[in-house]
Amino acid sequence: MAALLADLRTVKLRQTHIERDSSAPRLVGELDAISDSYDASVLQCNIENWLPLLGPPGLTFETLLVPLTVEQAQLLIRAYDEAERHPPTPEAVVSDPPLNSEEASLRASLLPPIQAALDQLAAADGKGCIVKTSSRSPKDAAARTGALERILREALSHPSNDRALSLDEEMLRVVCEAEGAALRFSRAEDILRALVLSERIWQDMTLALRHPDSFKQNIVVRRWESVDVTLEFRCFVHAGRLTAISQYAYQLYSPSLVESIEAARNTIVAYFDSQLREILVQGGFETCIVDVALLPQSDTAEHGQWWPRVIELNPFLPSTDAALFSWERERSLLEGSEALSGRQSYPVIRVCERARTGGLAVIPKAWKDVVSRVRLDLQ
């Protein structure tokens, strides 16, 4: 039911006037209750709720928050709607002037604090910052802003020296890396442009505004850290127990990861047991999904010598991608109640163990169109 509600949230319907029917089935009230429960689970995992727990101990990346008001969230929704009704030209999207009056209003109030946060976190290394909102990133906007195409062209102009990679495998790796690189910003104007063109942000602001009395949303500015895309993991935590670990970019085959799968598992388990478990349980996150990155301990560190860092927390719901697991078939495993056979033990870890064909088929259509255009030009 939660997955159905998540899908229904994304559907835009024409407004119509419907009289309240006091004889309506009780299912309406039950759906409202389920909807409120779903919303509460999603909003609980917003970064402002867990950053105070993980930020001070240095368990996640350095972060600054730029608060959003209800009015600014409403402007983000209206700016997106206006861009949908009157799609801007590609030339307008990549130029500086605001796309509409709503974006102009957002710039007036948000450019200074966003730029100040960017400058504070990026000044030391000049790498820029990764930016999202409280719940999710505007990564879907990268296909519209030109960021994705620019990143792909730059990456493919220096092809990999790994002769074992097919063209499709190399492209898939580049696309996975571009997903993070497209969220790297050094200008506040570019951030707002991505936010107003993102359907993901439209969805998240719409959900948050259903609860105006408890509204709490931020633009999240985080120090950029280079993370190997094959060393990001989705970790399932149920009732304070780490039950499952999946490679995040689960279509991407990495021979070195396959060779060091036990080292990765041991590193994450030790990190969870010694530093995360107690904080999560005491903070009310005993059941959640934690995305973790493994960073090399030094520039010369061997594979397997990592520092784990929390990327973000997600609700333990079918609306959160289960990666190499299945909510439908393996719910009991994810909850840690399934009796495991053979030599398996909790937490169960899975990675992509061989090169797969058709990996590019799972990316969004807008991204596929950009990939096809870039590949055609490079042939």
Q: For 299-322, what is each residue's pLDDT tens digit?
A: 766 667 899 999 999 999 999 999
Sole residue written with tokens 């928050």: 65
Q: Measure the CA dihedral 114/119/125/128, to 10°.
A: 30
What number of other Cβ atoms are within 10 A of residue 120's Cβ? 14
**For the residues 20-36, what does the mean pLDDT come to?**
52
Q: What are phi and psi of 103, to 5 degrees?
A: -65, -35
Residues 192 and 339 in one domain: no
Please say whether the beta carbons of 232 and 293 come within 8 A.
yes
Give the pLDDT confidence score for residue 247 in this predicted structure.
98
Residue at which a domain ends, from 184, 209, 225: 225
How far is it, in rounded angstroms, from Cα 330 to Cα 325? 7
Residues 69 and 179 in one domain: yes
pLDDT of the residue at 341: 86
Tell me the CB-side half-sphere exposure of residue 200, using CA atoms within 13 A: 14
Could you count the other beta carbons within 10 Å of the beta carbon of residue 11? Answer: 6
Domain region containing 296? 229-350
Asked whether residue 42 is domain-assigned, the answer is no
Residue 278 has pLDDT above 80, yes or no: yes
Domain for residue 5, yes or no? Answer: no
Contact 188, 114 (CB under 8 A): yes
Answer yes or no: do 299 and 200 share one domain: no
DSSP string, 321-373: --TTS-HHHHHHHHTT-SPPPTT--SSEEE---S--S-GGGGS-HHHHHHHHH
Looking at the structure of the chain, the number of domains it has is 2
- Rounded CA gap, 72 and 135, in Å? 16
Alpha carbons within 13 A on the beta-carbon side of 276: 31
In this structure, the answer to whether residues 188 and 96 fall within a common structural domain is yes
pLDDT band at 360 (very low <50, low <70, confident <90, very high): confident
Are residues 289 and 268 part of one domain?
Answer: yes
Q: What band does 343 get if pLDDT is binned at 50, 70 and 90?
A: confident
64: in domain: yes
* Lowest-confidence segment of 26-40, 52-66, 96-110 by average pLDDT: 26-40
* Alpha helix segments (H runs only) across the chain: 2-9, 27-44, 47-54, 70-85, 90-93, 101-122, 142-145, 147-156, 167-181, 188-196, 199-209, 255-259, 261-271, 277-282, 327-334, 365-378
Q: Select from 157, 191, 225 the last residue of a domain.
A: 225
| Domain limit, last residue, from 171, 202, 225 | 225
Clarify whether residues 262 and 334 are in a common domain: yes
What's the whole-model pTM score? 0.88
Residue 32 lies in a domain: no
Angle among Cα 242, 279, 233 to the nearest 5 degrees reads: 40
- Dihedrals phi, psi of 355, to nearest 5 degrees: -65, 135
Residues 88 and 181 in one domain: yes
Amino acid at 226: S
pLDDT for the residue numbered 155: 87
56 assigned to some structural domain = yes
- Confidence band, pLDDT 50/70/90 cuts, at residue 162: low
Q: 240 and 246 in contact (C-beta within 8 Å)?
A: no
Is residue 167 located within the same domain as residue 118? Answer: yes
Considering the domain architecture, whether residues 168 and 263 belong to the same structural domain is answered as: no
Q: Are residues 106 and 214 in the same domain?
A: yes
Q: Give per-residue burial for 70-88: e unless 16+ CB within 10 Å, then b.
A: eebbbbbbbbbebbeeeeb
Domain match, 157 and 120 both? yes
Evaluate whether residue 100 is within a structural domain.
Answer: yes
- End-to-end CA distance of the chain: give it in Å, rounded: 46
More reliable by pLDDT, 93 or 161: 93
The rounded distance, in Å, linking the Cα atoms of 264 and 8 is 37
